[in-house]
Structure 1
Amino acid sequence: MNYRIRPGEPLTDEVVRIAGLQYRKAIGILRSEPDGRHQAIHDARKRFKRLRGLFRLIREAAPDFYARENARIRDTASTLSAVRDATSLVEVVDRMAADREAGEDRAVLISVRDRLAARRDRIAAGQSDLGDRITAAILACEQGSAALADLRLPKGNDKAIDVLAAGAAKNYGRAVKALARARESEDPEDWHDLRKRIKYHWMHMQLLKPAWPGVMAARAEIADLAGDLLGDDHDLSVLAELIAAEPGEVGSATEIAVLRAHMHARTLRLHKEIRKILKRLLKDDAKVLRSRIAALYRDASG
């Protein structure tokens, strides 16, 4: 029940309990760095994403709290993102090189991958103030944890259920619209917006799992799969931006031409698979989802 909202329990207490645990885990990871500094940052940023997903679920009931704490978490995460972002570009080229479609271009892709890995290492070496950033992130987590004492959500089971159902349905409705926009425009920014909506839906299904464990778990699994594919797609768009801005960091003109061809082919495959997955996940109207979640939570509350 670490990331689950229990039916029938006071909503404020549940949100404070879950958020407090996420903050404590982030602080513990950043302080101890059990698997190394960069893995600690990566793991802490996962906790930050879960916090933002939780707060987005109750956003309409506590808009001021949401605006303040979401900004705190977002800004904290951004101070720790440089090396992770650079690592993501290495990983996306790794995936292309490992793909059977790489064929005789595999050596070129590996060469590009090695150049991007060297870039990542330079970025990591250049972050002489990373320890200070981690210290500041720990302080921000402590402040965020303390700020939970200010949270006030509607009392009473019916009002709490309305908050949860409305929050999940609003993000879901935005996901439906985001998919339509991305399919129409093929704009990387629209696909990135879709990624964010699907990631939030994944978190919301995890949080609401106690109301209908089997179905919520299945929806979360599908959303997680789609979110991973959308993450891969986003990394490709970021790589395209790096090629446009700093081609020398990536490779020669010939290498970049080969890389672009594989990036384009992979993007097409990813978009096809994502559309196939989300056609099932996003088939219902947002009002239907809202009514279903509310009914399930009322039943589960006894």
Structure 2
Amino acid sequence: MSETVHGRSASADTPPPLSSPTVFKRPFDQAATEAEAALGLEDPVRAVHELRKAFKRLRALLRLVDGEHRAEAKALRAALGEVARRLAGARDTQARRDALVDLTAKSYLSASAHRAAARALAAGGAHEAVGLAPHRDDLTSLVAACRDAGPRFAASMDRTALLRALRDEYARGRRLVRHVDPTEPESLHELRKAVVAQRYQMELVSEAWPALGKVWVGELQRLREKLGKHQDLAVLAAELASLPAGRQGWRQPLADAIAARQHRLVLSALRLHRRLFAEKPRAFRQRIAAYLKPVSEKE
């Protein structure tokens, strides 16, 4: 598909020149718009899901802000994280359901054990999502603060600053894997947060070279989903452990299924991580710099 650039047709492989402020501002504005849209949703489960997704994107982009606005960006990032934690209860309910569905779909758990576990966990105190209503005023103010700060952050983002920030974030995601303990969900959760940030940050680059950038973002998303499924299973395991001891026939098969599925996910996720983070940070920066360099129509 072709698009028009300065009144002329250009292929998708020759996008319009991108300035560093534009590269940052457009996705930041889009993330704020997504958060505003989530605040207007009536379905409480969907509203929480969409808002948390928008907040993750905003937090990933805020990590790139440095210099005179670094403290302001860090404060906004912390505020977004705190609100997301307040909504974690609603997310955990959905995570438990998603984990049970995944175990059954992948043949780790029988349908009858799935049904029995779902009933027991629901009766054991798992609560339904109440949506955003209790936090709406705080959420609205926070999204407005992000919207207001976006232009200032973008204006301070020159090419050198953007490349340095992208390199540092890539290096963080590469470094964290050294401290991963496959048997410790918290270390994998920290790695997942870095991968989520990298996935949204690389969207800034994919616009400069869509044919390659979209594939890269897609693989980061695939890694994110593997680690996300592992985290959902960790939530399910914690809820299972919180139930009173009993002789339920489904309990041990569920525990075994969780352990087996998590083991498989970790092996697959770490293999994919090694591929996506194989470059040294300096080489990564050089590659990204080449992507962002405008391509002359005469070349």
TM-score by length of 1: 0.82
Aligned to 2:5: none
Q: Does 1:194 align with 2:191?
A: yes
SS of aligned partner of 2:87: coil
**Percent identity over paired residues:** 23
Displacement of 1:59 = 4.1
Tell me, yes or no, if the aligned pair for 1:29 and 1:40 is still in contact at 8 Å.
yes
Alignment of 1:26-65 (within 5 A): 26-31=35-40, 33=41, 36-59=43-66, 62-65=69-72
1:284 to 240, 263, 279: 279
1:251 offset after TM fit, Å? 7.3
Please name the residue that 2:237 is paired with: 240
SS in 1 for 2:127: helix
Give the one of 147, 160, 163 matched to 2:161. 163
Tell me if 1:178 matches 2:186.
Answer: no
Q: Distance in 1 between matches of 2:246 and 2:36?
A: 39
Q: Does 1:270 align with 2:277?
A: no
Partner Cα separation in structure 1 for residue 149 and residue 175 of structure 2: 33
Matched residue, 1:9:
19
Which residue pairs with 2:149 in the alignment?
147
- Structure-2 change in CA distance of 1:292 and 1:60 (3 Å): farther
Q: 1:46 to 1:185 in 2, by over 3 A?
A: closer
Contact kept in structure 2, 1:80 and 1:134, CA below 8 Å: no
Give the structure-2-normalised TM-score. Answer: 0.83
Aligned partners of 2:32 and 2:147 also within 8 Å: yes
**Structure 2 residue ranges without an equivalent (≥5):** 1-14
Give the distance between the partners of 2:195 and 2:91, measured in 1 at CA: 21
Pairwise CA RMSD: 2.8
Instruction: Tell me the alpha carbon deviations over residues 180-214 of structure 1, each in whole angstroms, 9 at most, x when there is no partner.
Output: 322x5642221111111111111111121123222
Query: Which structure carries more helix by proportion?
Result: 1
The count of residues paired between Structure 1 and Structure 2 equals 283
Would the aligned equivalents of 1:233 and 1:270 in 2 still touch at CA under 8 Å? yes
Shift of 1:226: 0.7
The residue number in structure 1 matching 2:8 is none
Pick one of 19, 31, 34 that aligns with 1:25. Answer: 34
Aligned mates of 1:205, 1:10 — CA distance in 2: 14
Measure the CA separation in 1 of the matches of 2:16 and 2:176.
30
How far 1:178 moved relative to its partner? 1.9
Amino acid at match of 2:34: K
Q: For the Cα contact (< 8 Å) 2:205–2:291, is it kept in 1? A: no
Relative to 1, partners in 2 of residues 1:277 and 1:120: Cα closer, same or farther, differing over 3 Å? farther
Q: 2:112 aligns with which of 107, 110, 121?
A: 107
| Equivalent pair of 2:226/2:269 in contact (CA under 8 Å) | yes
Distance in 1 (alpha carbons) for counterparts of 2:225 and 2:38: 23
